[in-house]
Amino acid sequence: MSILFLTIGGSAGAVLRYLLGIVMMRRYPSPPLPIAMLTVNLLGSLGLGVFFGLKYGKIPIGAYAEPAYLLLGIGFFGAFTTFSTFSVEAMQLLRNRKWKSFAVYLILSICGSIGGFLLGINLGMSIYGS
């Protein structure tokens, strides 16, 4: 049953990431940095934080067998966000010697994702505690 939850959540997350990426690339065909994956990773981090805050009121430890955690925490948000694509796009900026864009992308991706998660979990916990 665990594999089914992972499959459903992961499929939905991957499809949504792909569709959002297409929309972003059409809207911003030549951005100075990879805006599509930056947006996906920031939204995914925020969403995972909100989910944790709402469902658990904290960062869960040992929840790997719970259906909601498998479906959303690992499945959906794991497939929606993408560290591997972030790495490829960061390397492309480096290879093209776009130093400023590389630095901005790196800082926004890492700090923004962590900040988005913190914002999300605090928002979720404030609702959870209500």
**pLDDT less than 70: residues of the chain:** 130
Report the pLDDT value the prediction gives residue 130, as an integer from 0 to 100: 63
Report the pLDDT value the prediction gives residue 104, as an integer from 0 to 100: 97
pTM for the full predicted model: 0.93
The end-to-end CA distance of the chain, in Å, is: 32
Tokens 């480096």 sit on residue: 94
Report the pLDDT value the prediction gives residue 5, as an integer from 0 to 100: 97
- What is the sign, positive or negative, of the torsion defined by CA atoms of 33, 34, 35, 39? negative
Q: Report d(CA 66, CA 100) in Å as an integer.
A: 43
